[in-house]
Structure 1
Amino acid sequence: MTDTSRALQDLLDKQEIREVVLRYCRGIDRLDFALVHDCYHPDGIDHHTGFDGNVDEYIAWVQPRLEVLGGTMHHVGNHLVELFGDVAISEAYSTNTHWGHPDRGDFTSGARFVDLMERRQGRWAIAERWAVREWTRSDAGRMTSPEAVGPRGSRDESDVLAHLRSRIANRH
């Protein structure tokens, strides 16, 4: 492989890995647990605050915790990917807002997703994830109502993303 083709393949691999992280965030925020599950290899492991186990156990653990919330929004910032052939280390900084929690109220946390990614059968996915919580801040009393009428997010098929995806899919 030439230096140019190696550099191009590295860029493609890094983009695919970044998209795994972004799909995970979309899945969590939209309560699309099939999408979250697809971000992991079948034997993938997850380490979260209050949880350690395989991907199936993680979904079973996180789903009821998210469904009681009014919503979540995960923002990915700095994201560095280090490639080692078919293995990579992905470190993505994130700021995660949670609202409508029946016990804790509204809160925001800063975290890093430190992932061991592996390419298996041509597909990059999480082999092991550490969701490293760096800080948590209470947002109690800080959330306000929207300032005007307009699109609002939902975590079901009525969300604008679901409508748009359906509209595009029906064209093809």
Structure 2
Amino acid sequence: MSTNNRVQLLLDKDEIRDRIYSFCRGVDRRDWNLVRSAYHADGIDDHGPYNGDVDGMIAWMTERHATVKSSMHHIGNVLVEVDGDVAYAESYYLAYQRIDGSSSLSFAMFPGTEHDGSDVNMRAQGRYIDRFERRSAGGPWKIAHRTVVADAAQFEPTTHDMPIDVGWNSARRDRTDAVYNR
């Protein structure tokens, strides 16, 4: 493989990783346009309880995240295999979410979960299995199909909350978050 081809491969893999990270930022900030930008317009997402097109996924996430008070995704072990204009990525995720105790949609995702109506902290771990496509020469890599593989989820009561000191910048789940102030 020539040096130019190796450099292009590195650039392709970096763009794909950025797309995965952008999806997570979009979910955590409820920036649904950013989430949408990770997918081709005809992309499919199999997110467990939801399996369908991107617009349907955004509608499902919008409803579910209305009762998610905080959300933070961590991505690790991203393996990207590029084959021409198609690439396959496996990304390990850890997601931490504070869920409003009244959220029937969030608890319905995990049958058998008992809760007393109080807020809970959810920790979920799994993998994103993505098929990326670059559909035009020099065009962007975007997700054509995503399968979310769930490994485990834990719910814990929010009994030991510590108030955040007034001096801290608080996380926001919208475009008023500090990350958008540039």
TM over 0.5: yes
Partners in 2 of 1:98 and 1:41 — Cα distance?
27
Shift of 1:74: 0.3
Secondary structure in structure 2 of the residue aligned to 1:97: strand
Say which of 145, 170, 174 aligns to 1:156.
Answer: 174
Q: Which runs of 4+ in 1 moved over 6 A?
A: none
In terms of fraction of residues, the more helix-rich structure is 1
Partners in 2 of 1:78 and 1:142 — Cα distance?
32
Is the CA contact (8 Å cut-off) linking 2:99 and 2:122 kept in structure 1? no
Shift of 1:142: 5.5
Residue equivalent to 1:3: 2
| Aligned residues with identical type, % of pairs | 38
Residue equivalent to 2:149: 132
Partners in 1 of 2:62 and 2:35 — Cα distance?
10
Structure 2 alignment gaps of length 5 or more = 108-119
Is the CA contact (8 Å cut-off) linking 1:73 and 1:98 kept in structure 2? yes
Residue equivalent to 1:169: none
Partners in 2 of 1:136 and 1:148 — Cα distance?
30
Which fold has the larger relative contact order, with Cα–Cα distance below 8 Å and residues 6 or more apart in sequence?
2
Q: Deviations over 1:1-55 (max 9, x none)?
A: x610110000000000000000000000000001100100000000012011011
CA gap of 1:55–1:139, structure 2 versus 1, over 3 A, is same
Shift of 1:100: 2.9
Partners in 2 of 1:158 and 1:47 — Cα distance?
30
What's the TM-score, normalizing by structure 1?
0.89
Q: Deviations over 1:110-162 (max 9, x none)?
A: 01011000011211000000111110011223652245331110112331112
Is the CA contact (8 Å cut-off) linking 1:31 and 1:67 kept in structure 2? no
Residue equivalent to 1:170: none
Q: What one-letter code is carried by the residue in structure 1 that aligns with 2:40?
A: H
Q: What one-letter code is carried by the residue in structure 1 that aligns with 2:149?
A: V
Superposed CA RMSD: 1.4
* Paired residues for 1:9-158 under 5 Å: 9-102=8-101, 103=103, 104=107, 105-121=120-136, 122-141=139-158, 144-146=161-163, 148-149=165-166, 150-158=168-176
Shift of 1:61: 1.1
Q: How many residue pairs end up in the alignment?
A: 163
Partners in 2 of 1:57 and 1:113 — Cα distance?
18
